[in-house]
Structure 1
Amino acid sequence: MSMKAPRGTVDILPEDARKWQFVEDQIKKVCDRFHFREIRTPLFEHTEVFQRGVGDSTDIVQKEMYTFEDQGGRSLTLRPEGTASVARAFVENKLFGNPNQPVKLYYFMNMFRYERPQKGRMRQLNQFGVEVLGSADPAIDAEVIDLAMTCYQELGLTSLKLVLNTLGDKESRNNHRNALVEHFTPHIDELCNDCQNRLTQNPLRILDCKTDQDHYSMKTAPSILDYLNEDSNQYFETLKDYLTVMGIDYVVDPNLVRGLDYYNHTAFEIMSEAEGFGSITTLAGGGRYDGLVEEFDGPRTPGIGFGMGLERLLMGLEAEGNEIPDDKQLDCFLVAVGEQSEKEAVKLLHKLRKNKIQVDKDYQGRKMKAQFKAADRYKAKYVLILGEDEVKNQTIKVRSMETGEQDDIPMEQLVETMQEKLLGGTGNE
């Protein structure tokens, strides 16, 4: 029996959780400025949600999903990505009837994919994502890309590369698909089994193959840019114009296709070019999916979104030498000596916390010197000293850990005194 965390999962300990909290808080502030609202969906869905939403021909559905049968015989799957779940929730909860359109959503979710674990790509991964449902305006594509870039930049990342492509509309994709089949058919026996299956299921995904990426047929494959009709070309040009006026640099890569079946028109990835980041440089990726909501029996609804791996974001911060600020200090540490003091300390802790003051105490029965060392380790701003004499006189010593200054104050004035020192006098007893 193994008592270790399952392969591909990690424990996020308190010191690391502080970094996650900082990153998530900063991202939430960006989402608020862009007027996005949070959505939370179930950890698992009916398997069909991902089969229909992600696509049967994808590696996620074919190889990577954690699927199980519940006691009622229903096939359920731990979510491997967020977009299909959000689209299902959009339809089920009739968000398409919301008078405020488009619906702009963000989420922080655990995802689960059975793949070979490596740094920044675990089997349980943490992802931030956004989805916008209800607009076919290329300006919203630009806004989504801008939001992603803003999150990275405000966290301090500078070595970023935005890679952009279009997959065109249905007509453009069909024409390109036919050209890809014609191009790869003579070489198909030289390609991997996955590519051989993709030739008939989704030939576009051959371009996304990591096994055959250096095969000569890849370098001469037809480009989607040569098969765009007028509307698709205009859509792409308008998006690029919007990015240019916002000052967002980009590189067009006609081989960027993304790994999911539901994309059309815009596809993009944001990569790290930081030295030492690693061979897999992608930080975030996304694109437009105008037919996805209809897969869940919803009305025709255009959509666009992206997913951002938080593990990879933290890797990017580390690679660029960006330190997460450690500004967490304990407001007060209460040092109590003696049986009566301990009893009074419990009462004071309760009272201080009720008045929005952060405070802790010793629970190991340590002597005063050891308690002061604990206060120092916790980076306490003030130490509150309570001995038998203080209990008898109903006073308490308040010592500043920065200056060493110490005052004796009436115990009944402690809350007011600490509010003045820490909170500028806010709060009520």
Structure 2
Amino acid sequence: MGGMIESQKNLWAAPKADGPLHAVVTIPGSKSLSNRYLILAALGAKPVTLVGLLRSRDTELMMGALEALGVTCAVDPSNETTVTVTPPADGRFHGNVDVYCGLAGTVMRFVPGLALFADAPVRFDGDEQAYARPMKPVLDGLEQLGATVEYHGEEGFLPFTVTPPAALPAESAHVSIDASGSSQFISGLLLVGSRLPGGLTLTHTGEKTPSLPHIRMTVADVNGAGGAASADETARVWTVSPRALQLPERVVVEPDLSNAAPFLGAALIAGGTVRVPHWPVETTQPGGLLPGYLERMGATVTFPEEDGVRYCQVTSDGTIRGLGDFDLTAAGEIAPSLAAILVFADAPTRMIGIGHLRGHETNRLEALVTEIRRIGGEAEELPDGIAITPGPRGNLHGAVMESYADHRMATFAAMIGLAVPGVHVVDVETTRKTLPDFVGMWRGLLGE
């Protein structure tokens, strides 16, 4: 990274805020919940209608993957965020098919488990950048359950073929994997554990469990579909009993709280007030921790209700407190948004517990350091995170900032552009991964 910009094409001029913000921003449905619900709906026996489903590249890839396996995903012509999912009539997924994962971690790590229940081998491939994303732990888990994995490139990475076992384990299956690189390895196996004849006991052999809230989300969603999943987080062991899964006939998807981070965080960088409607009282999303983090940085956060709608309201005078040592293990996915805010703080911050971000859409720790330095800021990688040492805003300057085909790096750059004139973002459309109209939403945030 660093060095030459990969492409000078598709440059987007990030708008600078001319004054304090006063905006209401409606966030689309949660990607994490959307793709978990799609998987669980496919594992049921009856149609399920998902309301408020995120329509983005990642969810389109998930629906495409499921349809390749014989699942029907019917979009309501009057509302594209309402999708009815109908599983295969006989409960068997189609084999001898190709599944394209793009760059979606939830697709490449959740869908291979469905191949256990296919009638023939299933081939998986993805974007070129996806070839760098680790896959081996979840595939090792499938091999322990009797599947055969054939790699067509480097072992442990896309592309590969999963051949289902001749017979699934009749007794309780015990799987041990090191999921230190991603919570998705654990979630991918827990989602299918209920369909195993004897259930599943999964042990994580690593010392740390990344993004534990995402695993808790998976457990809660499996149980919400009639499963029986439980966790001993101290021992790093999860148990799933054999059960027939079936989501309710109608499921409403919460807004994506992590995608609220650039917009709510903008209130701290530019000052003013930003509100996000439909904020849940309780949630399994790691983004639910965001309001508390913004308060620690000096914002005032309230949750007013108007006409039955609950808002998260963030107000700031533009003063941002550095956080010193800041353990972000529970919500690493919002690290790029928090890093953008902390570039303008009054003291240094060491965000730790996020070493696994090196294996996301790009190496986010290296990317963040590169882009902060590109605008004249000071940052360095840590073994398990990133250190940001802010200076006067006047020391920062505009630049062409890379997005690395990573939606959260693109929104990071947009946030920097709120306070630094002359920021241009390479391929801002990579935000379509989770925010289909990020540019329009950003302009609305600024009252344009």
Interval containing the TM-score (normalised by the shorter chain) = under 0.3
* TM-score of the superposed pair, with normalisation by structure 2: 0.22
Structure with a larger share of its residues in helix = 1
For the pair shown, the structure with the greater C-alpha radius of gyration is 1
Q: Which has the higher contact order (CA 8 A, sep 6+)?
A: 2
* TM-score of the superposed pair, with normalisation by structure 1: 0.22
